[in-house]
Chain A
Amino acid sequence: MIPGFLIAWLTFPGVIVHEMGHFLFCRLRGVPVLEVRFLRLGNPAGYVIHGPTANFTTTFLVCAGPLLVNTLLCLLICLPTYLPMEVFGIKHPFSYLLLWLGVSIGMHAFPSTQDAGNLWRAARQEAARYNLLAILSLPLVVLIFVANVLSFVWFDYLYGVAIGIGVPSLMF
């Protein structure tokens, strides 16, 4: 069993990008940010404390921001390494560096259970008012909970690999 803080530090770019995902959407949606730790020793390895959100869309974006930002950045970084490594069989150290960076970022894409809990409460309230985004986000929240549980069996790492290597393999 590898301690969580060690994994977080070995994949620290993902932690920073994850918190930036929350932070960025707070900024974009005008949500007050009270405190941010992009990376620290301890559990959690990073966090964003923000004020209340004005509506469900903002709650959704702030909570699910890392899923979008980390996933896209993982793909953007890993995609160029796919052709040399997998198609042409050229293993360059720079490609490994990019792969580590990309997969590290990808594996921190899933919001925490606390984020998922916040989103779940807000989604249930709004779903009762027939808010389409809230209804659609319910299965996503379930997925986030499942992903957090399965992180004990490296699901977060597998997700990073799937986005960084699996998606490009479908493209080429």
Chain B
Amino acid sequence: MPLCGACHRLTQKYPVPGWVKVFFAVVAVLVLLGAAYNARFALAYYEVRRGFGALDQGDFAGASERFRSAAQRVPESGDLAALAGYFEGVELLAEGRSAEALTRLRGLDGKLPPNFQVEEVMKEAERGAAFDSKDYDRLLELSLAALQRSPGDAKALGAVASAYACKFAATGDEAFQRQSLDYLSQADARGGQDPAWQEYRQRIRHRLATREILVPAEFHRRYPDGWKE
């Protein structure tokens, strides 16, 4: 197609209308704004993924920190707030701060999938809070209720033995001691040589032997190599 020099230059540099340039400038601004506005969601998403990765490796504190950070990045997400609250609650529970854990966990039931077992964790926090406040009647009541939900479970049997041991330590009533020993032997039969159970068992035996109720941290401080009867 023969073209004169001026026409050839025009076809090679066909002008783009001003409004089209404005259109693409607006699209570019929207793309940049979209990326900037949504960056926090991407960061929160990767925090959540790293949190679950930490959980897989057993790094509970690390996971809790990641979920908390994710929730802070997207405060309007109820799901993230629930996730962060749950792990914060469980972390508090592990630190023996049961009353604070209970406060943190309240209201989370129904906001997380069933496999999180929020209700169970809350009941454990309630038991911890009753123990911390020396409300041993409430502790026994909650432990018996837990055993009813999981009959024959070594941990639940141990919790009842622990509650009766507390009642014995507080009152000196030997009926409670016998009850505690009875549940302890049932738990023993199911708990076996599991180290976590053996440690829990040792604290209950110490309580029955000394009538002194120690929190786990104090028990481990006093008997770093374990307590011997």
- Which residues from chain A sit less than 8 Å from chain B, CB to CB? 13, 16-17, 20, 23, 27, 30, 32-34, 36, 38, 51-52, 73, 76-77, 80-81, 83-84, 87-90, 94-95, 97-98, 101, 172
Cα of A83 to Cα of B47 in the assembled complex, Å? 13
Asked if B45 contacts A20 (CB within 8 A), the reply is no
Instruction: Decide: A23 near B14, CB < 8 A? Known: A84-B38, A98-B30.
Output: yes
Instruction: Decide: A101 near B30, CB < 8 A? Known: A38-B20, A84-B41.
Output: yes
Asked if B27 contacts A101 (CB within 8 A), the reply is yes
Q: Mark B1-38, 1 if CB is under 8 A from A, else 0.
A: 10100001001101011001001100100110111011
Asked if A88 contacts B44 (CB within 8 A), the reply is yes
Contacts of A80 in B (CB 8 A): 34-35, 37-39, 41-42
Asked if B11 contacts A33 (CB within 8 A), the reply is yes
Q: Mark B126-137, 1 if CB is under 8 A from A, else 0.
A: 000000000000
Asked if B20 contacts A77 (CB within 8 A), the reply is no
Asked if B34 contacts A32 (CB within 8 A), the reply is no
Cα of A68 to Cα of B81 in the assembled complex, Å? 40
- Which residues from chain B sit less than 8 Å from chain A, CB to CB? 1, 3, 8, 11-12, 14, 16-17, 20, 23-24, 27, 30-31, 33-35, 37-39, 41-42, 44-45, 74, 76-77, 79-80
B29 CB to nearest A CB, Å: 11
6 more contacts with CB within 8 A, not counting A32-B3, A33-B12, are A16-B20, A27-B12, A30-B12, A80-B37, A88-B79, A97-B30
Cα of A97 to Cα of B34 in the assembled complex, Å? 10
Contacts of B23 in A (CB 8 A): 13, 16
Contact among A16, A51, A81 for B11, CB-based, below 8 A: A51
Question: Binding site of A, secondary structure by majority: helix, strand, loop or mixed?
Answer: helix
Contacts of A20 in B (CB 8 A): 20, 24
Contacts of A16 in B (CB 8 A): 20, 23
Contacts of B24 in A (CB 8 A): 20
Contact among B8, B17, B20 for A32, CB-based, below 8 A: B8
Asked if A36 contacts B14 (CB within 8 A), the reply is yes
Contacts of A89 in B (CB 8 A): 77, 79
Asked if B45 contacts A83 (CB within 8 A), the reply is yes
Asked if B31 contacts A77 (CB within 8 A), the reply is yes
Contact among B39, B42, B74 for A90, CB-based, below 8 A: B74
Which 7 A-B pairs rank lowest in CB-CB distance, beginning with the nearest? A32-B11, A80-B38, A33-B14, A83-B41, A80-B34, A84-B41, A88-B77
Asked if B77 contacts A98 (CB within 8 A), the reply is no
> Which residue in chain A gives the minimum CB-CB distance to B48?
A87
Contacts of A81 in B (CB 8 A): 34, 38
Contacts of A172 in B (CB 8 A): 45
Contact among B1, B17, B39 for A38, CB-based, below 8 A: B17
